[in-house]
A = this chain, B = another copy of it.
């Protein structure tokens, strides 16, 4: 692995663990066994490297999500599996975790994050429409609103997991949402 890749990998890891502000160039160099030279040879600085790392993170996550949400099989099942997907709740979402530090502050850094959530919204919206077409979801629900809501409920799950130091939050949420969407008893 080249030093450049090592730098990006270390940054991906540290952005997840500590966030953007709390990650210093020195942290990254230490974790990647790299000197100052490599850092500033390959990247303009911390922000530039963070952008490269965030773009890779976003791509990796979207690949996983596409595999699930745009797969074959019943749309209801894909949506349920999105809600029930195993998550490292206490570590936070690799992308959403950075929303408060990054997005507004710097448009360049924010771009990969906006792109990630936009595409994920579209994936969810399509699955929701399919579920509405095959009758597993009521047709009167607005697919865009619901896609945003599913995204939000998972992102909020990460926030609450960390805020309360609990590992059962995403499970509660998944149960609740599946119940509301696909009916529990009286539906």
Contact = CB atoms under 8 A, between A and B. Distances in A.
Contacts of A21: 19, 21-22, 101
B159 A155 contact: yes
27 contacts: A92-B99, A92-B100, A96-B163, A99-B162, A99-B163, A101-B101, A103-B163, A110-B165, A114-B165, A118-B164, A140-B179, A140-B185, A141-B179, A142-B172, A144-B172, A145-B172, A145-B173, A146-B176, A148-B169, A148-B172, A149-B176, A151-B156, A152-B152, A152-B154, A152-B160, A155-B159, A159-B159
Interface in A102-128: 103-104, 110, 113-114, 116-118
Contact of A19 (B101, B159, B165): B101
Nearest to A139: B186
Given A155-B160, A156-B155, A186-B140, A148 B165 contact: no
A161 to B, nearest CB: 9
Interface residues of A, number: 53
A97 B103 CA distance: 13
Say whether chain A's binding surface is mostly helix, strand, loop, or mixed: helix
Contacts of A148: 160, 169, 172-173, 176
